[in-house]
């Protein structure tokens, strides 16, 4: 691990410096960037019947954009490409970053040698947990090698080096939990509504997500190498069904955040805070920190993977969410295990003295 850190120290430095702190205002979802993967000289995945990923994902992306514009005319929708052209991964994220987009949705499709592989899955930036997940990320990142001057643009990253993905996953992403909420919203009920296998929400080192400074997900619509999936992916009705499914996930996510009617500044100025949001505890207590967000998220179980009694406190310019309450480290660690089982693997124990957060984090 030490050798990995030394080798990719420039990348890690860039990761820490890359987050644009003022891109999200906490005032709802106003700008969305939709990113149809691949394009031009990069066909992406190719089916045995010569159907191209770049073509399928562009059609679904354009349909998704139309649905958002129709339902939310005040939401600005931009595409990284709206025709068949090649665009580098760095430029795709740059488009979203420069306009201060609130969401980044990258659309892709799979294909592998085994025709039995099938299903719909949604990805966020993180450390891969299987060789298969690593291979998906390596395939999507291989577009880097088609870019001119790629050695300069991605001097900190080798898409063929497994160690590079470990360094990539070390990014302290302030928007990881929001990305997970969006991903779960998109993934939900895909088997019921699309008739596709539910492959779940996963994490891996996608360069296009690493460079995005807002909540970002990558959607794999299905497998072009699977006859059943391919039929859905290449048909007009199937493409509309896929676009509608992603739109419903976006809609559910947007509605949650648009229901937040106060900004961070207003929240800080409040003279009194309801106990259900911040408990004023006396003495030394321990809680489990599960999420950090630049916008206020209603502390409802459905917003936190079913966890109840979630609370929020302010630290700097961020809302930080905690789960559980205990006066001893044994119970705190049990609650930490529960949080991790609920999907918050980066959770950790924090301590409070008379309602104020202590500087040290782990008892």
- For range 155-169, the mean pLDDT: 55
Higher-pLDDT residue of 239 and 344 is: 239
> What is the pLDDT, as a whole number, of residue 316?
58
Cut 0.85: pTM above it = no
Q: What is the pLDDT of residue 38?
A: 92
pLDDT at 318: 66
Give 160's pLDDT tier (boundaries 50, 70, 90). low
CATH 3.40.630.40 applies to domain 2-258: yes
Q: What is the pLDDT of residues 188-210, one digit of tens each?
A: 999 999 999 999 998 877 777 87
Percent of the chain with pLDDT over 70: 69
Reported confidence tier of residue 357, pLDDT bands at 50, 70, 90: confident
16: Cα within 13 Å, side-chain hemisphere:
6
Q: Above 60 in pLDDT, residue 321?
A: yes
- The pLDDT of residue 262: 39
Q: Is the pLDDT reported for residue 93 higher than 70?
A: yes
State the pLDDT confidence band at 296, using cuts at 50, 70 and 90: confident
Give the pLDDT confidence of 238-280 residue by residue, as tens digits. 999 999 999 999 999 998 776 543 344 444 444 344 444 444 4
* pLDDT for residue 4 is more than 50: no
Express as a percent the part of the chain with pLDDT over 90. 37
What residues does CATH 3.30.70.1070 cover in the chain? 264-357
Domain boundaries for CATH 3.40.630.40 within the chain: 2-258
pLDDT per position as a tens digit, 23-57: 343 457 889 999 999 999 999 999 999 999 999 99
Query: Domain 264-357, what architecture?
Result: 2-Layer Sandwich (3.30)
């Amino acid at each position: 691990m030490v050798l990995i850190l030394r080798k990719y120290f420039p990348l890690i430095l860039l990761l820490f410096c890359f987050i644009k702190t003022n891109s999200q205002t906490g005032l709802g979802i106003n700008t969305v960037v939709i990113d149809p993967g691949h394009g031009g000289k990069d066909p992406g995945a190719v089916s045995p019947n010569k159907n191209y990923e770049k073509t399928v994902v562009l059609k679904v992306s354009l349909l998704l954009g139309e649905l958002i514009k129709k339902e939310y005319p005040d939401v600005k929708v931009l595409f990284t490409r709206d025709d068949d052209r090649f665009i580098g991964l760095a430029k795709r994220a740059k488009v979203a970053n420069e306009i201060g987009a609130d969401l980044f949705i990258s659309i892709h499709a799979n294909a592998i040698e085994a025709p039995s592989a099938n299903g719909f899955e949604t990805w966020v930036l993180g450390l891969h947990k299987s060789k298969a997940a690593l291979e998906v990320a390596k395939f999507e990142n291989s577009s880097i090698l088609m870019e001119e001057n790629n050695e300069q643009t991605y001097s900190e990253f080798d898409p063929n080096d497994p160690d590079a993905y470990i360094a990539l996953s070390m990014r302290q992403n302030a928007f990881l939990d929001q990305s997970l909420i969006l991903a779960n919203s998109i993934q939900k009920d895909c088997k019921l509504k699309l008739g596709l296998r539910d492959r779940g929400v996963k994490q891996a080192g996608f360069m296009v997500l690493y460079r995005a400074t807002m909540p970002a997900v990558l959607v794999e619509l299905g497998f072009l190498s699977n006859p059943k999936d391919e039929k859905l992916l290449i048909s007009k009705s199937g493409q509309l069904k896929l676009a509608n499914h992603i739109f419903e996930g976006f809609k559910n996510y947007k509605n949650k955040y648009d229901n937040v009617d106060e900004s961070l500044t207003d929240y800080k100025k409040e003279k009194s805070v309801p106990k259900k949001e911040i408990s004023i505890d006396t003495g030394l207590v321990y809680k489990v920190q599960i999420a950090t967000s630049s916008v206020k998220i209603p502390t409802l179980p459905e917003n936190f993977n079913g966890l109840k009694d979630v609370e929020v406190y302010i630290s700097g310019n961020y809302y930080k969410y905690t789960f559980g309450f205990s006066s001893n480290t044994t119970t705190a660690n049990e609650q930490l295990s529960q949080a991790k089982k609920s999907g918050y693997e980066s959770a950790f124990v924090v301590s409070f003295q008379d309602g104020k957060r202590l500087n040290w984090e782990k008892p």
